[in-house]
Chains A and B, each alone.
Chain A
Amino acid sequence: MIWQSSLPLLVLCSSLLPGLIIFALPESSVRIRTTLNLFGAVTKLALVAWMVWDVYQGHQFETRLQFLPNLDFTLQMGPLSVLFVTLSALLWLVTTIYAIGYLEGSPHRSRFFGFFSLCVTATAGVAMAGNLLTFLLFYEMLTLVTYPLVVHRGTEAARQAGHTYLRYTLPGGVLLLIGTVWLYTVTGTLEFTSRGFLQTVDESQHPALIAIFFLLVMGFGVKAALIPLHGWLPQAMVAPAPVSALLHAVAVVKAGAFGVIRIVYDVYGAEFASQLGVTQPLAILAAITILYGSLRALFQDDLKRRLAYSTISQVSYITLGVAIVGPIATIGGLVHLVHQGLMKITLFFCAGNLAETLGIHKISEMRGVGKRMPLTMAAFTVGALGMIGIPPIAGFISKWYLGLGALEVGQSWVVLVLIASTLLNAAYFLPVLYIVWFCEPDHPWCENRHFDNSETNWTLLLPALATAGMAVAAGLLASLPYTPLEWVRFITHNQFYQ
């Protein structure tokens, strides 16, 4: 049917068109802009929900247009795409609401929301890309449209951060391009195939395949913030809080991690990749990143920087889960894509609330803030405990499956890494929670804005509470149908057992 082949395109357009219209709107037309933003976000969510149902029934949605003579522009909705597209659609809606409140009255909002929508378009494209070329296309688009968001404030620091961002991501894109071209010249195809399409490649080409794997992983590793390619992420903190939320939880970092997932599962195939012996180094690199990120996070006083290093560490759980190669570890890695998103976005929303309401940027300034902003800090606490991995919050599920999966394939060292990381997570989050709830403020709060009956603007508060709620629900109700965990089981079943 025609709508089946155009549905992925519609998902793209649901954020692309509002974005383009918003660019043309004058700064003052707040109401039209807000309506368009929310309309786009809700439409996208509705379209995605419709597809989730059909994909679960075993349908595939595909849009295919000719791009180069033997290479198509392909958008595909398979189970894996659904996982990422749903996450981005859901969190886009929440972040849009948050951004509307956060940027109220600040200049250049048309530009901001325009690029914001383009950013989500690119993320949806990354999620739905049906071959490596289409993936590359949206991946580079993502790099470009996030740049104006990072430098949005127009200060010298923002310009520097923007340059650092590009200095990492564009060369990363180049590695990706070389890898992609090379892969194409070796195989003549780039279409993502469940369980990979490289098994039939001649043995003599295997060294080339190994080199290509590392080129591609390094390309994606820049955005996935694998060390030593992580340097841009802490610097990008000068961006407004909704942008940080987007960078860390929804779009950029996740696009990198998703790229690694695609490479291992749909290009090489997990089993073939482990036969080539390329997954073990990746697992070790991911483990080092996990520990390094957590260690660096310990010593940051700036709240957003601490969260940034925490992201570096947490995103590598996804890579680790993929690189261990086993059905259970896969579940842990893939489900963390969603869980980390929910928890990290909560934390960034809360950090934004603190900065926006009380002008707090540093952890040392957070003494006793729990009494002033109890709901925000409750959400923060949920996010932080989830990151540590305390049941029943979502983070626990990820770590549990990662640990089990590692034991299943006999990689018990991973469990040690997980324990060490959990201790480190506790070491950098628990003191914050202690300061927040059990210390008295040492000086009166400087109130940036005044809100009558609530601790802060409701558009800032509700998104944080909503995502915190989702993080708890994803953990508590994990075994119900249509939860992230169940969906990931469905994917893993296709990848390993069919």
Chain B
Amino acid sequence: MLSSTALIWGVALILLPLSGALLTFLFRAVATPIGICVALAINLCTVRLAWLISTQEVPRYPLGGWGAPLGIDLYVDGLSMTLLIMSAVVGLAISCYAPSYFRSARHKLIYFWPLWLFLWTALNALFLSADIFNLYVTLELLSLAAVALAALAGSADALTGAMRYLLVSLLGSLCYLLGVALLYHAYATVDIALLAERVVASPITSAAFGLMMAGLLLKTALFPLHFWLPPAHASAAAPVSALLSALVVKASYYLLLRLWLEVFGNVNVGIDVILGVFGAAAVLWGSLQALRQSRLKLLIAYSTVAQLGYLFVVFPLAAVNANAWQGALYLALSHAFAKAAMFLAAGNMLLFCGHDRIIDLDRVVQRLPLSLSAFALAGVSIIGLPPSGGFIGKWLLLEVAVAHALWGWAVVIVVGGILAAAYVFRVVGHAFTPAKNTHEVHAVPAVMEWVALVLATSSILLGLSAAQTLMLFEVGDPFRILSGEAPS
């Protein structure tokens, strides 16, 4: 059967980082070469898997012989493949960046590698899982690894931020698990595809839906549940901030989206507008907060809050035209690249200046030209200027909003862009001027600058390959666009 040969590569995507994590834990002296090899291997497997699923049928693989309805299935379609590619590329970049970042703190690097590869395992497993209980386990593993990484910076801010992050994500996971328990009781399966067939509107379904949504919204940091995100993301080490903002929040969003599309298609009456309103509030509030920050990493963290808002503005738009989901996925994808690049560039500036106060950036434009270019290019994608990936995402959303005369959402989308421009150029402007009080500067290894620049450039190039990317999204028709049975 074709599908099982294809999903051997999917299984490899879980086993590779898992064994990498164990190996880097056991052989600390060679952790960096092992880690980078594993990252490269994951990228190769991802490419192979993407090639197979876009040329063949969409695969489904019963792991260990336990097929549906018992679980444990693996499943890949365009939606999960896109996110797998996203984590592979960003993951490779972070793997190349981290050893240089931690070069003066080797004991942190020893912890970094196993934790990061565990996180990657959980991430890949989450994107590949096809049953809601497995998804719970991977979600929890993801949070634990993420919290440990966030605490790695060791400062008081980082530790309290990580602690709050841990409590919030445990709460979110438990809400989700309670929802799983209710669904299992009602429908006797945890397999998403079977649930999709069996689920009917009933009080117990609504309760499960509410609990699972609440848990996942908390983890995705939708306004006003975003309070934990800025301290945790801003006080972590730069490569960790990058992977938290770029990848980890996308995982819970993916899960939310998957459940919304597959399971709760007909019980979500009216919720889409509420999500859209909170999303719009997140876009505006997050951007305004970003404008007010005096520290670069906090600015970027609030920008994440704002950009996550866009992913929820999509819900009311997708209710009228399923094409909007493509825009959401495009935004999620380009945000991952751009935000990772931004945090890495900010890490370079932090390392170089010894601080990240925006007004004292002190002519980094001529001192760290590559890092500033990375920041600015990533900014172009975050703002949504053509031809970046962010532009394509916003174009797709605007197309739906304008075609159906949903002017309110259209205004939120473009105003968010203008506010994003304001905070991006606040930073870029200060990079040109000299600072009042100058600081001792430290050299930044070239590889750190280049990694940030390559990521930022790929967030731009993403816009130029829109036709191919949109084709990948459509594999397996996750958004019901081809079959035309869009959720009404």
Contacts and interface: CB of A to CB of B under 8 A. Distances in A.
Asked whether any CB of A lies within 8 Å of a CB of B in the complex, the reply is: yes
Interface of A: 23, 66-69, 73, 107-108, 111, 133, 136-137, 140-141, 144, 147-148, 151-152, 154-156, 158-159, 162-163, 166, 170-171, 173-174, 177-178, 181-182, 184-185
A184 B395 CA distance: 11
Contact of A173 (B385, B402, B428, B464): B385
Contact of B414 (A158, A159, A178, A184): A178
Interface in B350-409: 363, 365-366, 369, 380, 383, 385-387, 392, 395, 398-399, 402-403
B421 A170 contact: yes
Interface stretch (B130-138, B307-315, B430-438): B430-438
Given A108-B366, A173-B385, A181 B467 contact: no
B403 A185 contact: yes
A156 B421 contact: no
Contacts, number: 80
Contacts of A182: 402
B466 A68 contact: yes
Nearest to A139: B386
Contacts of B392: 68
Closest 4 CB pairs of A and B: A137-B386, A185-B403, A181-B398, A154-B432
A163 B425 contact: yes
A69 B470 contact: yes
Given A140-B386, A159-B433, A173-B385, A185 B402 contact: yes
B466 A174 contact: no
Contacts of A108: 366
A400 to B, nearest CB: 40
Contact of B421 (A154, A159, A162, A166): A166
Given A67-B467, A177-B414, A159 B398 contact: no
Chain A interface SS verdict (over half)? helix
B398 A177 contact: yes
A306 B234 CA distance: 47
Contact of B418 (A140, A171, A185): A171
Contact of B429 (A23, A111, A137, A159): A159
Given A137-B387, A154-B432, A181 B402 contact: yes
Interface of B: 363, 365-366, 369, 380, 383, 385-387, 392, 395, 398-399, 402-403, 410, 414, 417-418, 421, 425, 428-430, 432-434, 464, 466-467, 470
A69 B467 contact: yes
Contacts of B387: 67, 73, 137
Contacts of B395: 68, 177, 181
A182 B395 CA distance: 11
Given A68-B395, A69-B466, A171-B418, 6 more contacts: A136-B386, A154-B363, A159-B433, A163-B429, A174-B417, A174-B418
15 contacts: A69-B467, A69-B470, A73-B387, A111-B365, A133-B386, A140-B386, A147-B425, A147-B428, A151-B432, A154-B365, A159-B430, A171-B418, A178-B414, A182-B402, A184-B399
A185 B399 contact: yes
A329 B96 CA distance: 61
Contacts of A181: 395, 398-399, 402
Nearest to B420: A170
A171 B419 CA distance: 10
Contact of A144 (B380, B433, B464, B467): B380
A310 B326 CA distance: 47
Contacts of A111: 365-366, 369
Contacts of B466: 67-69
Nearest to A181: B398
A284 B411 CA distance: 29
Contacts of B386: 133, 136-137, 140-141
A150 to B, nearest CB: 10
Contacts of B430: 159
Residue picked from B399, B425, B470, most chain A C-beta under 10 Å: B425
A73 B403 CA distance: 22
A159 B358 CA distance: 14
Contacts of A66: 467
Nearest to A162: B429
A396 B447 CA distance: 58
A244 to B, nearest CB: 18
Contacts of B365: 111, 148, 154
Contacts of A137: 386-387
A151 B467 contact: no
Nearest to A133: B386
B139 to A, nearest CB: 34
Contact of A178 (B363, B383, B385, B398): B398
